[in-house]
Amino acid sequence: MSTTILAIESSCDDTSAAVIQDEQVLSNVVANQAVHKLYGGVVPEVASRAHQINIVPVVDTAIKKAGIQKQDLTAIAFTRGPGLMGSLMVGLSFAKSFALSYQLPMIEVNHMQAHVLAHFAEDPKPNFPFLCLTVSGGHTQIVLVRDHLDMEVIGSTIDDAAGEAFDKTGKLLGLDYPAGPIIDRLAKEGTPLYKFPEPKIEGLDFSFSGLKTSILYFLKKELKNNPNFIEENKANICASVQDRIVSILMNKFIKAAEQTGITELAIAGGVSANSALRAALTNLGEEKGWNTYIPQFQYCTDNAAMIGITACYKYLKREFVGQDVTPLARWK
């Protein structure tokens, strides 16, 4: 008999539902919350209210698109954390009621583990062991993946995440939130003329807060001489910022490959949608003869398909949770 899982993702500002059948994605529906643009960042209270409005239609659409009936489902999966408490609560409460109504077992999923396992939603799949550079708005990690559910974080940021570095720099440049995709687009029209310093951090850890500060001082200095500096040089500034963020990420990722001897390399998370990072990984693979894995755009940013794929592996091990489960805003 086939395993059919309804998966819910609501950890931040995207409400998503997916139906996964025997590790195949039947549907993956995402409702973005554009409302946060007004505030220049995600407002937790606004996010949880938007999840409440979105969750029923998003789930209904995912089930319809999958061409199944609710009665066909064998389990329901949800993101337990890490994420915003109020946002997680909406997905979890929905999953609990759904599980009770349809007598389904519940599967908890760690959002960061799911970003890594998004690679199993498509072909070719990475071979174990592989390294995954997971880069999102809240996290920056190098993960050593021994098996679907056996992962170890071997490097992470000591301050801001890579996505945060894009978004906070974007704010300095007067760009909308989230600025990552906008910087990516503008950078295509510019040249990385400005050389921002690369932080000197030991081992496999990252730091991005110094970069943000040096960009701030750079802009202040230039604006003193020319009040239109940002407007006149936006594309070049974006190209320079992106160039440095990508080099910080890639240098540590290469170091991790050399240290571990693992040359199966994958990227995941919202920032893995960045065209310069994707190109840098592809070039590295071609240059060194290493295997590289880059997810389709729909599996980079937050989505429920990755939650459902992770849940498939947990279902095989019968890793279920009860109705007393609570969200974990912080969950390694």
Q: How far is the CB of 238 from ligand KG4 (least distance, A)?
A: 10
CA distance 227 to 285: 43
Interface residue with ligand KG4 among 90, 241, 273, 304 (CB under 6 A) is 273
Q: Which two tokens stand for residue 33?
A: 């919350």
Cβ proximity to ligand KG4, 260 vs 275, nearer residue: 275
Is the Cβ–Cβ distance between 305 and 118 less than 8 Å? yes
Interface residue with ligand KG4 among 91, 269, 295, 308 (CB under 6 A) is 269
The partner in contact with residue 273, picked from ligand KG4, Zn ion, none with C-beta cut-offs of 5 to 8 angstroms by kind, is: ligand KG4
The partner in contact with residue 271, picked from Zn ion, ligand KG4, none with C-beta cut-offs of 5 to 8 angstroms by kind, is: ligand KG4
The partner in contact with residue 167, picked from Zn ion, ligand KG4, none with C-beta cut-offs of 5 to 8 angstroms by kind, is: ligand KG4
For every residue of the chain, which 3-state class applies, written as one string? Answer: CCCEEEEEECCCCEEEEEEEECCEEEEEEEEECHHHHHHCCCCHHHHHHHHHHHHHHHHHHHHHHHCCCHHHCCEEEEEEECCCHHHHHHHHHHHHHHHHHHCCCEEEEEHHHHHHHHHHHCCCCCCCCEEEEEECCCCEEEEEEEECCEEEEEEEECCCCHHHHHHHHHHHCCCCCCCHHHHHHHHCCCCCCCCCCCCCCCCCCECCHHHHHHHHHHHHHHHHHCCCHHHHHHHHHHHHHHHHHHHHHHHHHHHHHHHHCCCEEEEECHHHHCHHHHHHHHHHHHHHCCEEECCCHHHCCCCCHHHHHHHHHHHHCCCCECCCCCCCCCCC
Asked if residue 180 binds ligand KG4 (CB under 6 A), the reply is: yes
Asked if residue 208 binds ligand KG4 (CB under 6 A), the reply is: no
Is the Cβ–Cβ distance between 189 and 235 less than 8 Å? yes
Cβ proximity to Zn ion, 177 vs 196, nearer residue: 177
The partner in contact with residue 181, picked from ligand KG4, Zn ion, none with C-beta cut-offs of 5 to 8 angstroms by kind, is: ligand KG4
Cβ proximity to Zn ion, 27 vs 110, nearer residue: 110
Interface residue with ligand KG4 among 20, 30, 63, 271 (CB under 6 A) is 271
Interface residue with ligand KG4 among 166, 206, 208, 315 (CB under 6 A) is 166
Q: How far is the CB of 138 from ligand KG4 (least distance, A)?
A: 4
The partner in contact with residue 82, picked from Zn ion, ligand KG4, none with C-beta cut-offs of 5 to 8 angstroms by kind, is: none
Task: Report CA-CA distances (Å) from 73 to 20, 68, 83.
Answer: 10, 8, 26
CA distance 69 to 102: 11
Interface residue with ligand KG4 among 33, 274, 292, 310 (CB under 6 A) is 274
Cβ proximity to Zn ion, 135 vs 257, nearer residue: 135
Nearest residue by C-beta to ligand KG4?
A: 270
The partner in contact with residue 166, picked from ligand KG4, Zn ion, none with C-beta cut-offs of 5 to 8 angstroms by kind, is: ligand KG4
Cβ proximity to ligand KG4, 167 vs 243, nearer residue: 167
Cβ proximity to Zn ion, 73 vs 121, nearer residue: 121
Asked if residue 12 binds ligand KG4 (CB under 6 A), the reply is: yes
Nearest residue by C-beta to Zn ion?
A: 136
Cα Rg of the chain (Å, integer): 20
Q: How far is the CB of 202 from ligand KG4 (least distance, A)?
A: 25
Name the site residues for Zn ion (rule: CB under 5 A).
136, 302
Residues contributing to the site for ligand KG4 (CB under 6 A) = 12, 136-138, 163, 166-167, 178-181, 184, 269-271, 273-274, 301-302
